[in-house]
Amino acid sequence: MLRDLAAVLGALLVLAAGWSVLGTLVIPRRVHSWLTRCVSLSLDFLFHAVTDRLDDYQQRDRILSAQAPVALIVQIAVWLGVFEIGFALLLWPFVASSGLGGAFEQAASSLVTLGYLAPHSGGPAAVDDLASLAGLGTIALQIAYLPTLYSAFNRRETLVTMLDSRAGVPSWGPELLARTHYGLGTGVSAVSELPDLFEQWEQWSADVSESHATYPTLVRFRSPRPLSSWVTAQVAVLDAAALYLSLLPDAVGAVKARLCLRGGFTCLTTLARAYRIELPGEPDPNEGISLTYQEFVDAVERLRRVDFPLPRPTEDAWLDFLGWRVNYEAAAYALAWIVDAPPALWSGPRRRPVAPMGPLRPLTLRAGKPPLQPG
C-alpha cells in the first residue's frame, strides 16, 4: 500500500515537472508553475539577503548580474531532481527487492541515459524509457532555450545602449528632450527627430512585452553597464513622450508619441502582472502620482536652460503630463524595485534607500580652452 501511494505521488511529481518544463521552454505564453516560482523566489531572497547589506550600488549590481544566469542553472537542476524523485517513486513498486535506494539508483541511471542498471521486466523498462526521454528532452530544450533568451536580450539592449548618449546615464526623460534640442552640443535642435525615436521605442516595447512575459527570467538580466537598465530607459522614453505631448500642444508626430506611450505602459503592465504585481485596472488621474509637481517644475527649468520651446503654462502642462504618467508609473516603480534598477531620477524607490542619481554629464574638452559644462 505504501509503495502504491508513493507511485501515485511520483506520477504527480513527474507531471508537475513536465508541465513546468513545457510551460517555461515550449509554450509561447506565460504559464505559471510552482516549481519555477519557488526557484525564482528562493534565489531572489538569497541574492537580496546579500546585496541589501551593501551600500555601494555598483557592488550590488555586480552580484545581482549573476542572479538570472544562476537561476537558469538551478532551474534545470530542480527539474531533473524532481524527475529523479518522481521516477524513483514510480519504480519502487517494481523493484521492491532492491528497496527505495535501488529505485533511486535505477531512476538516475535512466534519467542521465547512462543505462548502467538495466530493467528485467516490462513495467520498469517502460518507466525507464520515460525517464530517459524526460532527462534528455529537458536538457535539449534548455540548450535550445539559451539562444532565444540571449537573442531577446541583445535586441533589448541595443536601443538601451543608444539611449545612454541621448538621455544620459542613468537615463532621464527631461534629459532626453534637453539633449535632443541642444543637438548634443551642435547647437542645432533635433527635436523633429523625436517622433522617429518614439516609433522605435513603440516597436521595442512590443518586442520586450512578448519576449519578457513569455520568459520572465529576462526581466532580471541586467545591462552590461552598471548604471544602465532597461526599466529606467523605458521610463525615460515614456516620460520624454509625455513631456513632448504636454509641453508642445502642436507637436509634430504627436501620433507616434501617443503610440509610444500606449505601447510602453502596456509593456510595463504586462510584465508587472507576469510577476503577480497588483495594479489598478483603470488608473485614475484624480488619485495623483508619486512624482511631485515641484519635480516637474525642476525638469521644466532644465529644459528652459537650453531654450526648449515652452509655449504652454507649466500648470496646464502638468495636468496633461499627470494624465499620461498615471498609466505607467505604478508598474514601472514596481519593476524597478524588483530588479533593483539604478537609482535614476523619476524611477521610484529601491530596496535600499538611496538618493536618486541625475544623469552624468561629461565635460566638453577643447584644446587650449578650459572645459565647458554641457547645458
pLDDT tens digits along 75-128: 999 999 999 999 999 888 877 666 788 888 888 888 876 655 555 555 677 888
Name which of 148, 141, 103, 149 is nearest 20 in CA terms: 141
Q: Between the CA atoms of 307, 310, 311 and 312, what dihedral angle is there, to the nearest 10 degrees?
A: -160
Query: How many of the other CB atoms lie within 10 Å of CB of 39?
Result: 22
Whole-number Cα distances in Å, 304 to 133, 181, 297, 300, 344: 65, 11, 10, 6, 21
Strand locations in the chain, DSSP E?
364-366, 369-372
Look-up: residue for cell 538580466? 221
Q: Percentage of the chain with pLDDT > 90?
A: 59
- Residue 370's φ and ψ, nearest 5 degrees, are -65, 155
Say which residues have a Cβ less than 8 Å from residue 70's Cβ, sequence separation at least 6.
Answer: 43
> Over the range 222-238, which residues count as b (16 or more CB within 10 Å of their CB) and which as e?
bbeebbbbbbbbbbbbb
* Residues 11-24, mean pLDDT to the nearest whole number: 92
Peptide bond preceding 226 in cis form (omega within 30 of 0): no
DSSP string, 14-75: HHHHHHHHHHHHTSSS----HHHHHHHHHHHHHHHHHHTT---HHHHHHHHTTHHHHHHHHH
Higher pLDDT, 184 or 33: 33
Whole-number Cα distances in Å, 213 to 147, 225, 309: 17, 23, 38
Residue 124 CA to residue 102 CA, distance in Å, equals 12
**Where are the domains positioned within the chain?**
2-144, 168-351
Give the 3-state secondary structure of residue 310: coil
* Residue type at position 187: G
DSSP state of 226: T
pLDDT tens sequence across 203-213: 999 999 999 99
pLDDT tens sequence across 173-198: 999 999 998 876 677 788 889 999 99
What pTM, to 2 d.p., does this model score?
0.87
Whole-number Cα distances in Å, 54 to 1, 70, 170, 299, 354: 53, 20, 20, 31, 11
What the block records as the C-alpha cell of 276 is: 503577480
Whether residue 363 is predicted with pLDDT greater than 60 in this model: the reply is: no
> Over the range 159-195, which residues count as b (16 or more CB within 10 Å of their CB) and which as e?
bbeebbebbbbbbbbbbbbbbbbbeeeeeeeebeebb
Residue 249 CA to residue 312 CA, distance in Å, equals 8
Whether residue 60 is predicted with pLDDT greater than 90 in this model: the reply is: yes
What the block records as the C-alpha cell of 368 is: 587650449
Higher pLDDT, 236 or 33: 236
